[in-house]
């Protein structure tokens, strides 16, 4: 496994692979790798000749500096996991390699960034768009792999690729969960045992919400009921939303057959977690 900390050497490496007509897949991460990341890497290896994983805690997508400082960083462990799993190359840059000056460009994703994560984390998706654009420019992958857990982020990146004409195929892979249903996340490592147990209420709320949607209950009532249910179970909820899975537009109470996403965000102690599930509504 090759590890690169600078842009030019990894570009030279990848150019050599392209001369050999090898396809290149990218798994962008912020490190603190878990089985969810491994599933993305496995999909990348399945579809491509060369698998690349990037590890970079991107400062421009954090609107809370305490959250940025607390984000887990465990590069040695991450590299050991990637080597064991058969990753071909890792891009592990320092901040001054990715941002040699303070970026002044601002990306606006319109209605996509006005709901859910965009509403509660202003500026977040500008930072996501910036770093993903840079990774696509630097690495020029044929395919890039993201997890369904960050459903809104995937929609943002899909819009970015469309608007900027990036020649990359986007792949969205299913959420990997713990045995008790908690979506795997790098942030889970910050939970103490009691908080870890409390966090399972997020998935439980999504399941009870999905059952209510399929039963035809009032969507606003489902939203309110599950916000209260989360509070009653020790979580400080930010949103419990029911949206069109493609456009992320909040759904009203009368709609035709759609792929529906139920999305939730809440704070468990000092840790902010998100989750979602997809259902088909008749």
- Walk me through the domains of the chain, giving residue ranges and CATH numbers: 2-173 (3.40.50.620), 186-275 (3.30.1300.10)
Under the banding of pLDDT at 50, 70 and 90, the label for residue 148 is very high
pLDDT in tens, 44-85: 999 999 999 999 999 999 888 888 898 889 999 999 999 999
Q: Is 137 a catalytic residue?
A: no
- Binding site: which residues? 30-37, 61, 147-150, 153, 176, 184-187
Please give the structure tokens belonging to residue 88. 């071909």
Radius of gyration of the chain (CA): 19
What are the beta bridge partners of residue 144?
26, 170
Given a cut of 70, is residue 282 above it in pLDDT? Answer: no
Under the banding of pLDDT at 50, 70 and 90, the label for residue 256 is low
Q: What's the rounded Cα separation, in Å, for the pair 272 and 71?
A: 11
What are residue 81's phi and psi, to 5 degrees?
-65, -45
- Range 154-164 average pLDDT: 97
Provide the pLDDT for residue 255.
62
Q: What's the rounded Cα separation, in Å, for the pair 16 and 19?
A: 5
| Start-end of H helices in the chain | 7-19, 35-47, 65-70, 75-84, 95-98, 117-120, 124-139, 151-164, 193-198, 201-214, 219-232
| % of the chain surpassing 70 pLDDT | 98
Provide the pLDDT for residue 142.
98
- Range 241-262 average pLDDT: 85
Provide the pLDDT for residue 208.
97
Consecutive H or E run containing 2: strand 2-4
Phi-psi region of 25 (alpha: psi -120 to 50; beta: other; left: phi over 0): beta
**Whole-structure pTM value:** 0.94
Q: What's the rounded Cα separation, in Å, for the pair 144 and 125?
A: 18
Q: What's the rounded Cα separation, in Å, for the pair 95 and 42?
A: 27
Angle made by CA atoms 28, 30, 176, in degrees to the nearest 5: 75
Of 37, 124, 137, 233, the active-site residue reads 37
Under the banding of pLDDT at 50, 70 and 90, the label for residue 261 is very high
pLDDT in tens, 171-190: 999 999 999 999 999 999 99
Provide the pLDDT for residue 258.
76
Sheet with strand 169-173: strands edge to edge: 2-4, 89-91, 50-55, 24-29, 143-147, 169-173
Please give the structure tokens belonging to residue 101. 């000056």
Consecutive H or E run containing 91: strand 89-91
């Amino acid at each position: 496994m090759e590890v690169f900390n600078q842009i030019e050497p990894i570009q030279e490496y990848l150019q050599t692979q392209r001369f050999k007509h090898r396809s290149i897949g990218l798994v962008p991460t912020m490190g603190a790798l878990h089985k969810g990341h491994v599933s993305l890497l496995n999909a990348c290896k399945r579809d491509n000749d060369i698998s690349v994983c990037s590890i970079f805690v991107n400062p421009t997508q954090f609107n809370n500096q305490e959250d940025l400082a607390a984000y887990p960083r465990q590069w040695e462990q991450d590299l050991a996991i990637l080597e064991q799993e058969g990753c071909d190359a890792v891009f592990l840059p320092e901040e001054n390699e990715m941002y040699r000056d303070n970026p002044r460009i601002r990306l606006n994703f319109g209605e996509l960034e006005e709901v859910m994560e965009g509403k509660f984390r202003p500026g977040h998706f500008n930072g996501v768009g910036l770093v993903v654009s840079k990774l696509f420019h630097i690495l020029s992958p044929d395919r890039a792999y993201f997890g369904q857990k960050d459903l809104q982020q995937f929609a943002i990146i899909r819009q970015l690729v469309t608007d900027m004409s990036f020649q990359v195929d986007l792949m969205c892979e299913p959420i990997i969960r713990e045995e008790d249903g908690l979506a795997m996340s790098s942030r889970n490592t910050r939970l103490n045992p009691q908080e870890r147990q409390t966090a399972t209420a997020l998935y439980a709320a999504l399941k009870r919400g999905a059952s209510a949607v399929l039963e035809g209950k009032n969507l606003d009532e489902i939203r309110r009921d599950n916000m209260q249910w989360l509070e009653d179970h020790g979580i400080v909820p930010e949103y419990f939303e029911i949206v069109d899975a493609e456009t992320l537009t909040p759904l009203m109470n009368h709609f035709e057959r759609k792929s529906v996403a139920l999305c939730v965000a809440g704070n468990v102690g000092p840790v902010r977690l998100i989750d979602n599930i997809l259902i088909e509504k008749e």
